[in-house]
Structure 1
Amino acid sequence: MVHQLDRAQARRIAVRAQLLAAPRPTDLLTVVRQLTLVQIDPTAAVAPSADLVCWSRLGSSYRPEHLRQALEEDRTLFEHKAMVRPMDDLGLFLAAMAQWPDHERHREWLRANESFRRDVLDLLGRTGPLLSRDIPDTCAAPWPSSGWTNNRNVTQMLEFLVLRGEIAVAGRQGRQRRWDVAERVYPAGVPVVPLEQARRLRDERRLRALGIARERATAVPGEPAEVGDAGEPAVIEGVPGVWRVDPEALGQPFAGRTALLSPFDRLVHDRVRLADLFEYEYVLEMYKPKASRRWGYFALPILHDDRLVGKVDATADRRRGTLTVHAVHEDVPFTPAVTGAVRDELHDLASWLSLAVEGLR
């Protein structure tokens, strides 16, 4: 059976799956379990992206210390490859960790630096958790690269060891990761899900988080945007190709709300899907020269009900104590109700940040 959907139905499935419909969820762990991941990015023009994603779902009841506690004390979440994930999902990654690396260049470098690897593991075992700067470089063969990783041997070894599951991120000191041996971060006795089964389960988890997605999608950095044969096939009126839909998401009631989103939010992360479902154009412009920007350095997409209706160009100036709103860009003309809802969200965002709104007209 191929499900027949129109764009509005597909959008509502996507918004509900990402916990951006009403009512709001009330628990951080519930949010991360449903989303499967929250991306970490150091940019904090308004707030760190992981915190913005959680605030967009939970509202001002969420505090950044809740995320730190879950990661560093309760260990209900873990950080892996710049993503916060539920510890419940750890078993889905252990088989891939055990088989890494799959590139000969990486294997050769690890073989040449076996004594360096042992030095790092022994030091962390005795005195961890540590920052990378506290770990001596005892490499026998420096890491060669034409990019910024050239000769950054400690950083490279740590990245390799976390991908192998031998060490883990124990927490953060500011933006710097603190590293420790995996057995002091990950719980003991986690069952290892075989590799192919784990891939299927991760596809299913990803589809539940997205609601609707392509079987095969354009490659994006980090987490894949495609879901394989998870779920059931669907076609969307006016959109070419076959999609996969979470069958449990079909026919569910929908109540929309207004939300300001991080540019790294999973609802907008896949720009092709974004255009297909929401007919919405978005580019993160922080890497563009100021004169070339249309919407702003770290413009926040605006969700209203099941539509993405604009962008907010805002900056948190903590020295002055203000959330400065440079512009509210309307992709479609705002009704008075939308204008009021966006203003309310901006005031809520400022209050959450303990800042005063400036520049909002």
Structure 2
Amino acid sequence: MPATVSFSLKQARRLALAAQGFNGRQPPTVKAAHVNRLIERLGLLQIDSVNAVVRSHYLPLFSRLGAYSADLLDQAAWSSGRRRTLFEYWGHEASLLPLSMYPLMAWRMQRARRGEDIYQQLAKFGREQQDVVRRVLSSVEEQGALGAGSLSTREDKAGPWWDWSAEKHALEWLFAAGEVTVAGRRGFERLYDLPERVIPSSILQQALPDEAEAQRELLLHAVQALGVGTEKDLRDYFRLNPADARPRLAELVEAGQLQRCEVAGWLQIAYCLPEPKVPRKVVASALLSPFDSLIWERSRTERLFDFRYRLEIYTPQDKRVYGYYVLPFLHNERIAARVDLRSERAAGQLAVHAVHEEEPGLDEEGMLALALNLRQMADWLGLTRVQLNCPRESAARLRVALAEIGGV
């Protein structure tokens, strides 16, 4: 079936930026309701252990809302009672998702129990180490909110499974299968408990959608969050496989819930919501986490912004092109620069190790916007200054801009 609507690349960018929450004013004071609404809009936040600037799940909220108390996200994710609005599961990698989406993950938990798809190895462990699994589950039932470290004997080696203990493997298997969930974190270590002690009963008692229905809902969430995307873009958002995503997309188009579209320069057919509203322009400046949902699908980022981005954390230092932990800088409707950043907490400074401008570079207003973002990030992180440690010409311009706003 042919596409029914066409977008220029600029229109596609505006759709994407607006869908991702970059098209509104930042609130003067960020409250829990702002955090929850944004995460509902995005569908999930990816969790990652890298802490070069701040844990990655905190950054997307800062990029869109401005300075906020990280306690708001911690309470939404790991508190008890009504303040808890999120849960952890495998969404797009390890993720925080709205509690309302818990039933949409039941099919994935069921596949994990059966050892299908990516869960074959964990399920094999579960079958071969049933005594360990039973012992770990009994400990969680009796004691609650346990981490792998408190269970590990390190006498039961897990074989060639990373460097996890047998207990850690058992917990990961139980977590994937939905037998336990994450109650909280100690540092960055997950603490596991039974779902009925963490997830509200009003959620657990809901009728579960079948696989096809849940996958359609996830694809709808993806297109709402992306604005416009190819089949690969949409299925990648919640890590659906092609065999599941393709028929579900066809069903959504047939039902009139999605429509096919074309984007200038894209080789593949794309999808969007019916009657999409394209903003006349998007005015936004933000430093982006490498794991931000706007850019985590690298091929889409390249198609949409003409911006090739690779994280170089695991690249040997002498082979890095841009730096160890590089944050793209979004300015209005393009990704205009790359900034290699580090939070040097002992020194109380946000260290800028490199600034790389994308063609045609940042004008004076754009450089001032970058300086302001860096100053605001330093304040948000409780750091007293922005320290420039790079000799490039753009760093000299940034130094002037920081001085102009009083930000060094």
Question: Are the equivalent residues in 2 in contact too, given 1:5–1:234 (CA < 8 A)?
Answer: yes
Question: Are the equivalent residues in 2 in contact too, given 1:310–1:330 (CA < 8 A)?
Answer: yes
Any gaps of 5 or more consecutive residues in structure 1? none
Question: Are the equivalent residues in 2 in contact too, given 1:17–1:211 (CA < 8 A)?
Answer: yes
Q: 1:96 maps to which residue?
A: 108
CA distance in 2, matches of 1:219, 1:4: 21
Does 1:204 pair with 2:210?
A: no
CA distance in 1, matches of 2:154, 2:339: 48
Q: 1:341 maps to which residue?
A: 369
Q: Deviations along 1:195-230, whole A, 9 cap, x unmatched?
A: 111011101111111111111359869735986425
Q: Against the structure 1 CA distance between its residues 234 and 220, is the aligned structure 2 distance closer, same or farther, given a 3 Å change threshold?
A: closer
Matched ranges for 1:260-339 at <5 A: 260-332=287-359, 333-339=361-367
**CA RMSD of the aligned region, Å?**
2.4
Q: 2:403 maps to which residue?
A: none
Identity %: 31
CA distance in 1, matches of 2:319, 2:35: 37
Matched ranges for 1:216-255 at <5 A: 216=232, 223-224=239-240, 228=246, 229=249, 230=252, 231-247=258-274, 249-255=276-282
Q: Secondary structure at the match of 2:346?
A: coil
Q: 2:66 maps to which residue?
A: 59
Q: 1:47 maps to which residue?
A: 54
Q: Deviations along 1:176-197, whole A, 9 cap, x unmatched?
A: 1111111111122133111111
CA distance in 2, matches of 1:6, 1:190: 42
Q: 2:192 maps to which residue?
A: 179
Q: 1:78 maps to which residue?
A: 87
Amino acid aligned to 2:181: A
CA distance in 1, matches of 2:45, 2:275: 22
Does 1:37 pair with 2:53?
A: no
Post-superposition shift, 1:352? 0.5
Q: 1:350 maps to which residue?
A: 378
Q: 1:19 maps to which residue?
A: 21
Q: Against the structure 1 CA distance between its residues 224 and 64, is the aligned structure 2 distance closer, same or farther, given a 3 Å change threshold?
A: farther
Post-superposition shift, 1:107? 4.0
Q: Which segments of structure 1 move beyond 6 Å, counting only runs of 4 or more?
A: 218-222
Post-superposition shift, 1:255? 3.1
Q: Secondary structure at the match of 1:69?
A: helix
Q: Secondary structure at the match of 1:78?
A: strand
Q: Secondary structure at the match of 1:239?
A: coil
Q: 1:194 maps to which residue?
A: 210
CA distance in 2, matches of 1:37, 1:248: 25
Q: 1:4 maps to which residue?
A: 6
Q: Against the structure 1 CA distance between its residues 222 and 134, is the aligned structure 2 distance closer, same or farther, given a 3 Å change threshold?
A: farther
Amino acid aligned to 2:70: P
Number of aligned residue pairs: give it.
357
- 1:110 paired residue among 122, 126, 149: 126
Question: Are the equivalent residues in 2 in contact too, given 1:75–1:185 (CA < 8 A)?
Answer: no
Q: Against the structure 1 CA distance between its residues 98 and 279, is the aligned structure 2 distance closer, same or farther, given a 3 Å change threshold?
A: same
Question: Are the equivalent residues in 2 in contact too, given 1:56–1:259 (CA < 8 A)?
Answer: yes
Q: Secondary structure at the match of 2:268?
A: strand
Question: Are the equivalent residues in 2 in contact too, given 1:16–1:254 (CA < 8 A)?
Answer: no
Q: 2:162 maps to which residue?
A: 148
Question: Are the equivalent residues in 2 in contact too, given 1:92–1:201 (CA < 8 A)?
Answer: yes
Q: Against the structure 1 CA distance between its residues 47 and 249, is the aligned structure 2 distance closer, same or farther, given a 3 Å change threshold?
A: farther
CA distance in 1, matches of 2:237, 2:266: 24
Question: Are the equivalent residues in 2 in contact too, given 1:17–1:249 (CA < 8 A)?
Answer: no
Question: Are the equivalent residues in 2 in contact too, given 1:300–1:312 (CA < 8 A)?
Answer: yes
Q: Secondary structure at the match of 2:66?
A: helix
Amino acid aligned to 1:63: S
Q: Against the structure 1 CA distance between its residues 84 and 118, is the aligned structure 2 distance closer, same or farther, given a 3 Å change threshold?
A: same
Q: Deviations along 1:258-312, whole A, 9 cap, x unmatched?
A: 1100011111111111111111111101111112112111111011111111111
Amino acid aligned to 1:77: L
- TM superposition score normalised by structure 1: 0.92
Q: Deviations along 1:30-88, whole A, 9 cap, x unmatched?
A: 1111111101111111111111111111111x221111111122221011132010001
